[in-house]
Amino acid sequence: QGSRSSPVRIIRPADASDDDDRREAQQRQGHADDGREWQRSSRLGVTGADADGDGNRGSIVRPSEVVSTNGVYELVEESGQRKKLSPEAITRFKGRNSDTLQGSLAFVPWILQESYFESGLADDKIVVHRGTGAVVFSDASGFTALTERLAKKSNGAELLSQCLTAFFTPLINLINAYRGDVIKFSGDALTIYFPAVDDTKAPRSRIQVPPHGSYGLPDLGPMATAVLRASACCIEIHKRLHNFDTGEGDVRLTLHIGVGAGPVTILQVGGDQGRYEYVIAGEPLAQIAVAEPLASSGETVLSPQCWKYVKHTVIEGDPIEGHPTFHRLKALDITKHTYPTVKQAARQSAEKEVEEMHDDEELERRLTACMRFIPRSLLKQFRTGSLRGINEMRTVSIIFVQVQGVDVASDEGAVKAKKLMAGMQGICYSEEGSLNKFLVDDKGLLFLFVFGLPPLVHIDDPTRACRCCLEMSALLVQMELVGRIGVTTGRVYCGMVGSDTRREYTVMGDTVNLSARLMANAEANTVLVDEATFKRCGGDFTFLRLHPIRVKGKERQISIYRPLPADASAPSVASQPAIAEVISSTRDLKSHSFKVTRQESKREVSVRLPWPPKSALLGGTSPLTQMQSWSSLKLAHQAATRCLESSGRILAVIGQRGSGKEELVESVLQRCVDDGMVPVFGTTQMRSAEAFSAPREVIGQLLALLHRQPGDDKDAAAGAGFTDLLQRETLNAEESRSLSDFYGTKGSLSRCFERQESSGKTRADTICAFAAKLLARVLQSDRIVLCLRLWRGTTLSPCDTGLFWKLVRQLQQVCSAQPSGKALLIVLSREFAFEGEDLEPLRRRGSKRRNTHGASVAQLADPLMHNVVSTRMEPDPSVQGDLGGSKIAHEPVNMAGLSDTEAHIFTGLVLGVGTADRPSDAVPETLRTFLSNIALNNPRNILEALQQLLEERKMRVVGGRVELLVDLNTVGIADWVHTGMVGTIISQIEMMGAEAQRVIKMATVFDGPFSALDVASANRVHRPSSDLLAFHDSVQLLMSCKWLVQNGFLRYLDDQPDDETPADGQTSRLPRWEIKDLLIRKVVGATLLQSQKMQIKRAVLITRRLNIALPARMREKAAMHEELFGKQTKAERMWQQRRRESAIQWEARADVDCGG
């Protein structure tokens, strides 16, 4: 593994015990205190704390920035030229990699690090440790009450983080001192492993006393010593931390502990996209499941298996009624063992022989091995040294899943657990969620998933969570397992728990606890959700409202709901007494179907609109289509007319979300239907599971037009309806194979582009050609309007859309061969892109397309790659409008925001106080200005803002006029996280790179512009030392400013008058920027902690003051000196410089002579 140096002694993290304890232990061991200072370091020889206090000072340097060839480090510039780095730069960059490793080790238990050194952590290795020892489960009470109280404060996350650190730091120090290993954080609870190790086999120089620490007493054996250390640790924890004062009124933290002993197995499972979870299993877990609930506040209960090892060395507490074999632990028998001696012996036995690491490749391998267990949401923070600001209060959706029927302690169960974890990961990641915990208890396997953690934040996270749960339930049924699932939505603490030497990223709060309670009350393979989740996603599912239940921790009964799969029929209320009401999906209730009579058969057909109608024209809520002055509507109808007159031209409706694309297309569709054209729809949602939906829908509807008989009521786009219609079609072997592969199941997108040996075509070619063949046959008897929609929705990770665009190309070729007025093809998307005969180039270009921060589409497509900068991606110009080297004829309708007049009319129509032909005087000027600043004349944003203001009673409509009830400048816009206007901004900010995030957050601190010097000053908060890395970061921050301007977050001020002095006192030629709009300022500003705002303001204002006052003060001093002593000659200045240098050298020698 590369060159190594000689072994060095490394001591595990020690408790901050006082000198008296240490002295007593050393005297009892029979040797005097040698006054040696114990080294406090992490398990692999690096300290857990640093100048920032977050255990992570820098980011790992990737080969794309610095390359090493034969030991020579070079910087690769954009032009490809290489420059040799200075020794100082090499040292700094190597230090960053070491610091990143240092920070990551705190997230990995010592036993896994030891397994890496002993046998490695191969991907196919499931069992990484088998052994025996004591397992401690320590549960803290009071954190939920503390979290709920602090959640109401603006700086609640900061206060809770400080309290958690103050509580867990001494707790983990004690555990480390007794040679315990924190395996898992379960919210406010810890699972701790005390391995049974034969310390007598250590070198003789290290066993002057027995492993238990008492000189003259016989060795107890590895297992008894491990249980003794665990018992002593638990007692001392109670002494030091029982009734811990949180500083928040009467809220105090208490601990109750259960201890078990026996064989232990630790597994690594998962592996989807390189993310693994480890879990501890074995008999001790079943023992502590009984022991811990028997312990009252401030007590420890031992299992019978533990008691037999320490019954002669500890003092028993009061008997436990009803459980005589379990024992309360009162204290150690200090006539045999004392706490300091047990602790001191544990420290000495924890010294490890590890080899000091100088090889860069070994550093990278060790870092990679550790990071497989770390949530990817933390990787960006590691690599940029920004862990300090990760703690926050956030609204998320929590999923608890309990699975029974898997014994992970057995070899067969371990393999099944790995398969189950891979399936659960795949479902969660496809919905862009996060796996936070994987545990084993007496009831089975326990999963904790979270939707809404940065950077994957969506406005529809509750909907995604419910959809994920239904798919997980189906997976459990498929694997013949029994599972129960609970889902809740609410505000929780998301951040670090632990200390600098051992910590994890977790979620805490009442919402988390309630999810676990719902899981426990769910029936086998069903899902229960709370009322908050139901309200946020009730329109997307059919729910069964069940009778309220009472759960632990709640005074009142809570409302619960059960979502049903889309293909399930709702049971009647009379058939199941537990059901109070069946609540159908409003998505079905709000659907619209076009009625049209076919030309040849004269039979009326009904075609359903594949999305809930948006415009009031079809029963929606948007009045856009009623506005006579809406310029985009006029342009769209004119473009549709030109497309019908010239066959083969595509009507391309392009625009961002909420710009009114759907309303506009609905108006064009209604016009076509009124003209006797039959609509055919195909929608591809940018999710991997929906990549085939557009061809499936188009082929299904075309088959229905060709073969469906009156009375057929099956959906032709899915399931049995599609299969029945397909059997009526004559297929060749290639078509039969391709269609059966990809329409009987979800299919594989990678296989879709595999070339078949027989024909050289891909399956995608065959599928799209079959759709084109069906369209040509339908057009022989009917006029068709095709609407193909590429819908991103809230998805942040783009999937491969090559199949969609290939379908568009094939259908367009069929339409171009038809006479005028026969067919119209509409494409509804955020961008318009085509490629030629083979879509592989499009896929390859997409995977290599990069933004200015180096984030590729391949990274965006990976829901676990959290170093992505933004989702505001521009289409690749090289693939726009090009099809096989020729331009595709199309009529683009680019949807921009409304004009001020259009926005005024739209507001009046929404509020019911205006008409469609002119602005309304009933809308106050203050409201129009407010909407213009935050909604940016986007129709969806205006509609959402008005709905929120009415719901929160910030305004009202009385007598045909709008009355404002509050000052709109005081409205908490950032709290509207469930709306598209705010949720989209949050998602984009979370997906940015760390440098861009720091710039945009810093910009919200100031009311006016900020300059490049302000950026450098704020960087000192993050990088306080004045070194090469600080300069390197400042350059990257300036590059981020340019990127933020390009993506519409900042505005570059290039029109500053030369004769005006800016507020910072610098020249007007200095680059300056400002926040582009009020919405970004409000939303981003709310994500910044109060302490961070104060630090940035202080650093920047001090620098500004120095830049203004210091030069004038220096000139004043120089003028005064010249007035008193006259103007100095050059020789006099050189003589004074030599005197200063001599004085500095004399002071340095004096310091050395005096011993510093």
Q: Please report, rounded to a whole number, the percentage of residues in the chain having pLDDT higher than 70.
A: 74
Q: 3-state SS string over 687-699?
A: CHHHCCHHHHHHH
888 vs 811, residue with greater confidence: 811
Q: What CA–CA distance (Å, rounded) separates 816 from 644?
A: 10
Instruction: Give the pair of three-digit tokens for residue 44.
Output: 């692999």
pLDDT of amino acid 653: 92
Buried-exposed string 659-692: b where 16+ CB fall within 10 A, e elsewhere: bbbbbbbbbbbbebbeeebbbbbbbbbbbbbbbb
CA end-to-end span of the chain, whole Å?
Answer: 42
- 1124 pLDDT more than 60: yes
Please state the pTM of the whole predicted model.
0.78
pLDDT in tens, 102-146: 677 888 898 888 887 777 677 778 888 899 999 999 998 888 888
pLDDT of amino acid 792: 79
Which residues partner with 684 through β-bridges? 790
User: For residue 867, which phi and psi values (nearest 5 degrees)?
Assistant: -105, 20
- 446 pLDDT more than 70: yes
**Nearest in space to 310 (alpha carbons), one of 265, 259, 348:** 259
Q: What CA–CA distance (Å, rounded) separates 921 from 928?
A: 11
DSSP, residue by residue, 859-917:
HHT-TT------S--PPPGGGTTEETTEEPPEEEEEE-PPPHHHHHHHHHHHHTS--SS
pLDDT of amino acid 722: 62
219 vs 74, residue with greater confidence: 219
Contact, 1026 vs 1037, CB < 8 A? no
pLDDT of amino acid 485: 96
pLDDT of amino acid 386: 63
- Count the neighbouring beta carbons within 10 Å of the beta carbon of residue 95: 15
Which range is least confidently modeled, 905-914, 1035-1044, 1054-1063?
Answer: 1054-1063
Question: Residue 1111 has what DSSP assignment?
Answer: H
Q: What CA–CA distance (Å, rounded) separates 1007 from 1017?
A: 17
Q: What CA–CA distance (Å, rounded) separates 714 from 716?
A: 6
Average pLDDT of the residues in 921-949: 91
Question: Residue 762 has what DSSP assignment?
Answer: B
DSSP H/E element including 975? none
pLDDT of amino acid 44: 27
Instruction: Give the pair of three-digit tokens for residue 1112.
Output: 């004038």
Q: What CA–CA distance (Å, rounded) separates 803 from 844?
A: 14
| Most confident of the following: 209-213, 233-237, 998-1002 | 233-237
User: For residue 257, which phi and psi values (nearest 5 degrees)?
Assistant: -130, 140
pLDDT in tens, 512-544: 989 999 999 999 999 999 999 998 886 778 888
Which range is least confidently modeled, 389-403, 418-432, 1126-1140?
Answer: 1126-1140
- 26 pLDDT more than 70: no
Instruction: Give the pair of three-digit tokens for residue 880.
Output: 């726009």
991 vs 545, residue with greater confidence: 545
DSSP H/E element including 947? helix 939-951
Residue 839: band (very low, low, confident or very high) from pLDDT cuts 50, 70, 90: very low
Which residues partner with 83 through β-bridges? 75
| Most confident of the following: 191-195, 196-200, 337-341, 1115-1119 | 191-195
pLDDT in tens, 682-696: 988 776 566 678 888
pLDDT of amino acid 883: 38
826 vs 76, residue with greater confidence: 826
- 1026 pLDDT more than 60: no
Instruction: Give the pair of three-digit tokens for residue 232.
Output: 């002593």
Average pLDDT of the residues in 226-230: 94
pLDDT of amino acid 315: 93
pLDDT of amino acid 236: 94
223 vs 1090, residue with greater confidence: 223
pLDDT in tens, 192-208: 999 998 887 765 445 56
Q: What CA–CA distance (Å, rounded) separates 550 from 1122?
A: 85
pLDDT of amino acid 983: 84
Average pLDDT of the residues in 976-1002: 83
- 1111 pLDDT more than 60: yes
pLDDT of amino acid 1060: 64
| Most confident of the following: 22-26, 42-46, 169-173 | 169-173
- Cα–Cα distance list, 43 to 14, 109, 115, 201, 675 (Å): 10, 9, 13, 21, 76
- 978 pLDDT more than 90: no
Average pLDDT of the residues in 1120-1128: 75
pLDDT of amino acid 353: 41
Average pLDDT of the residues in 19-37: 39
Which range is least confidently modeled, 305-319, 614-628, 706-720, 751-765?
Answer: 706-720
Average pLDDT of the residues in 1101-1120: 79
Which range is least confidently modeled, 13-17, 349-353, 497-501, 867-871?
Answer: 867-871
Place of tokens 């509207």: 976
pLDDT of amino acid 95: 67
Mean pLDDT score of the chain, rounded to an integer?
77
Q: What CA–CA distance (Å, rounded) separates 258 from 285?
A: 10
Classify the phi-psi angles of 243: left when phi > 0, otherwise alpha if psi is within -120 to 50, otherwise beta.
left
pLDDT of amino acid 1155: 47
- 37 pLDDT more than 60: no
Average pLDDT of the residues in 1008-1030: 69
Average pLDDT of the residues in 568-584: 71
Cis peptide before 455 (omega within 30 of 0): yes
**Nearest in space to 29 (alpha carbons), one of 38, 21, 18, 17:** 21
Output the CA torsion 606→611→617→618 (10° steps): 40
DSSP, residue by residue, 220-265:
--HHHHHHHHHHHHHHHHHHHHTTEE-SSTT-EEEEEEEEEEEEEE
Q: Please report, rounded to a whole number, the percentage of residues in the chain having pLDDT higher than 90.
A: 26
Contact, 396 vs 450, CB < 8 A? yes
Buried-exposed string 397-431: b where 16+ CB fall within 10 A, e elsewhere: bbbbbbbeebebbeeebbebbbebbebbbebbbbb
| Most confident of the following: 149-163, 496-510, 594-608, 811-825 | 811-825
pLDDT of amino acid 884: 41
pLDDT of amino acid 529: 94
Average pLDDT of the residues in 662-681: 92
pLDDT in tens, 767-803: 888 899 999 999 998 999 999 998 877 777 767 778 8
What's the full length of the chain, in residues? Answer: 1156
Average pLDDT of the residues in 942-965: 91
Which residues partner with 194 through β-bridges? 134
pLDDT of amino acid 862: 30
Q: Helix axis angle, 87-105 relative to 1028-1046, nearest 10°?
A: 80
- Cα–Cα distance list, 726 to 608, 709, 735, 778 (Å): 20, 14, 11, 15
pLDDT in tens, 458-479: 888 999 999 999 999 999 999 9
| Alpha-carbon torsion (33, 34, 36, 38), positive or negative | negative
- 1049 pLDDT more than 50: yes
